[in-house]
Chains A and B, each alone.
Chain A
């Protein structure tokens, strides 16, 4: 229970394997690949994190870590390092030149890696939006040569570079929202609610019973419902501790404004594009998924 407030920290490092599901349809031996990819990457990250943490504590000591974190967090004058307390920051001071370069390049490359793995889901989302007329048709083009949505991938990649520059230059209280915890948790809390109720929705009964998931139950309760409940509780707990603990720095007015801008922009964009399509092109895009009654 004492470790629960650290859930957001674990989330920052371990919440991203879900991104693999966006490309599951394009993966060879998907049942095996996804299992190894998602669970394997979680285990790999957790072990790597545990090893580096253990080594750091062994080298500098627990007291040093606590003291520097406290001094930095409270803005004490005695903390004179030009960086926040982190193992690569301390390594940069102590390491030989070649190792400093390696750490610096590795850290910089890691940021661009974020951009790269955003391209996979981002491009596919734009492709779907293009079909639903929420995005320009050009973003839905799939290259005949490369069999991938090249234009959408470049677009997402460039947006990612802009985000990286902003992250580097913006004040800390604005950049802290890049942590993405509230976005991911609220988005997937809706997904987990859907998972909970899909076996019981009359309109979805046919689809659910035809799917391979429907044969898995724990007693009378569908496994997908149980998974949805567990996931919802996990995400809600993660979000709760992110909100109530000021040390995460995400729950403050400037950061919340940034978060609100992100959500409000999406809402405005949707209604603006809907208005444009209706007024100029005569199509109501909300018809794309409107349920049609058979009677």
Chain B
């Protein structure tokens, strides 16, 4: 039996990318759709009410002053499509949040949860009756509130830190957390913890050679984990005028893949490292991400008789 998987990662709250993900499932005639990590956006963009029907916001390196109605709606759309969360507020509220990190976090979590709920509803409406399995997994950048929202759905499955059997009888081992990053994101494990958790999950996999490893962070020292080197102040390091790239993937993930040699590895996390690489017999994929520009990057993989029949990177 042939199974077509469509894998996307790192949409980071982009409304347009998520909608494209849902539509792509029908266009590509997919059997199993996997959204592998980093679902939520990175920032709240305050839009301050200035009075007289005018609103002001700082977005995309410029100051926007827009009128209520079409202009405001256009700005809201642009912000959402870039993966950020617009929040309309009064001047007093704006000054209050500027000095209150707890309040900022609360507003961010509320916005992320609201968008996530609307996505889950949208996915259920569009995909429920077309015979596709849909797995949406939080990644290291996603806070724990997302798990509860995904749990509410009777259609979407959150496979994080589980081994599940998907269409075609393939076992899928999933892990959304990453190894440590400079940003101390909500879901990080040390390499030792990650290795322990992955090994524990692996014990539930009956046939590793035909398994799918849906692990958000890519394996270390591959073409899939090259990211710009950052200094202590999180600025990109350049040498001779050129950005220095380093391997930032997980050594634990690499060990587990080398040891168990699954059929395929599905990874994200490093947006710039779109690519495919073999570790032994395992074909590992990272579709990359251009969520900020509104382009959906993904990879279609056809599996048949326990092997990879073909794959195709998509860009739409």
A residues adjacent to B (C-beta < 8 A): 27-30, 32, 131-133, 137, 140, 142, 206-207, 210, 277, 281-283, 285, 287-295
Check A132 against B242 for contact (C-beta < 8 Å): no
Check A133 against B27 for contact (C-beta < 8 Å): no
Check A282 against B313 for contact (C-beta < 8 Å): no
Check B310 against A282 for contact (C-beta < 8 Å): yes
A290 to B315, alpha carbons, bound, how many Å?
7
Q: Which residue of B lies closest to A294 (CB)?
A: B19
Check A281 against B310 for contact (C-beta < 8 Å): yes
The 0/1 profile, CB within 8 Å of A marked 1, for residues 281-316 of chain B is 000000000001111100010101000011111111
A292 to B223, alpha carbons, bound, how many Å?
27
- Chain A residues within an 8 Å CB radius of B312: 132-133, 283, 285, 287-288
Q: A282-B304, A283-B300, A294-B16 are in contact. List 14 more A-B contacts (CB 8 A).
A: A30-B241, A30-B242, A32-B241, A132-B313, A142-B223, A281-B310, A283-B302, A285-B312, A290-B27, A290-B314, A292-B296, A292-B316, A294-B15, A294-B23
How close is A97's CB to chain B, nearest CB, in angstroms?
45
Q: A28-B240, A28-B241, A282-B304 are in contact. Are A289 and B310 (CB under 8 A)?
A: no
List 19 A-B residue pairs with CB atoms under 8 Å apart, sorted by A's residue number.
Answer: A28-B240, A28-B242, A30-B242, A32-B241, A132-B312, A132-B313, A137-B276, A206-B294, A207-B293, A281-B309, A282-B4, A283-B300, A287-B27, A287-B28, A288-B312, A289-B314, A290-B27, A293-B23, A295-B19
B residues adjacent to A (C-beta < 8 A): 2, 4, 15-16, 19-20, 23-24, 27-28, 60, 78, 81, 223, 240-242, 276, 292-296, 300, 302, 304, 309-316
- Chain A residues within an 8 Å CB radius of B4: 282
Q: Which residue of B lies closest to A291 (CB)?
A: B316
The 4 closest A-B pairs by CB, nearest first: A29-B241, A281-B310, A292-B316, A294-B19
- Chain B residues within an 8 Å CB radius of A281: 302, 309-310
- Chain A residues within an 8 Å CB radius of B316: 289-292
How close is B275's CB to chain A, nearest CB, in angstroms?
8
A282 to B30, alpha carbons, bound, how many Å?
12
How close is A276's CB to chain B, nearest CB, in angstroms?
10
Q: Which residue of A lies closest to B283 (CB)?
A: A137
How close is A167's CB to chain B, nearest CB, in angstroms?
36
Check B310 against A277 for contact (C-beta < 8 Å): yes
Q: A287-B300, A294-B19, A295-B19 are in contact. Are A206 and B241 (CB under 8 A)?
A: no
Check B293 against A206 for contact (C-beta < 8 Å): yes
User: Of B19, B223, B242, B296, which contacts A29 at CB under 8 A?
Assistant: B242
- Chain B residues within an 8 Å CB radius of A294: 15-16, 19-20, 23
Q: Which residue of A lies closest to B27 (CB)?
A: A292
Check A282 against B23 for contact (C-beta < 8 Å): no
- Chain B residues within an 8 Å CB radius of A132: 312-313
Check A131 against B313 for contact (C-beta < 8 Å): yes
Q: Majority SS of interface residues in chain B?
A: mixed
A295 to B81, alpha carbons, bound, how many Å?
13
- Chain A residues within an 8 Å CB radius of B292: 210
How close is B77's CB to chain A, nearest CB, in angstroms?
10
A174 to B166, alpha carbons, bound, how many Å?
58
- Chain A residues within an 8 Å CB radius of B276: 131, 137, 140
Q: Which residue of B lies closest to A142 (CB)?
A: B223
- Chain A residues within an 8 Å CB radius of B295: 207
Check A210 against B60 for contact (C-beta < 8 Å): yes
User: Of B2, B19, B314, which contacts A287 at CB under 8 A?
Assistant: B314
- Chain A residues within an 8 Å CB radius of B78: 206
A133 to B314, alpha carbons, bound, how many Å?
11
Most buried by B among A142, A207, A293, A294: A294
Q: Which residue of A lies closest to B81 (CB)?
A: A206
How close is A193's CB to chain B, nearest CB, in angstroms?
21
Check B310 against A133 for contact (C-beta < 8 Å): yes
How close is A142's CB to chain B, nearest CB, in angstroms?
6
Q: A142-B223, A206-B81 are in contact. Are A293 and B314 (CB under 8 A)?
A: no
A290 to B276, alpha carbons, bound, how many Å?
20
- Chain B residues within an 8 Å CB radius of A290: 27, 314, 316
A295 to B311, alpha carbons, bound, how many Å?
26
- Chain A residues within an 8 Å CB radius of B300: 283, 287
A272 to B247, alpha carbons, bound, how many Å?
38
Check A283 against B310 for contact (C-beta < 8 Å): yes
Check B2 against A282 for contact (C-beta < 8 Å): yes
A52 to B33, alpha carbons, bound, how many Å?
64
How close is A208's CB to chain B, nearest CB, in angstroms?
10
- Chain A residues within an 8 Å CB radius of B27: 287, 290, 292
Q: Which residue of B lies closest to A207 (CB)?
A: B293
Check A293 against B311 for contact (C-beta < 8 Å): no
- Chain A residues within an 8 Å CB radius of B20: 292-294
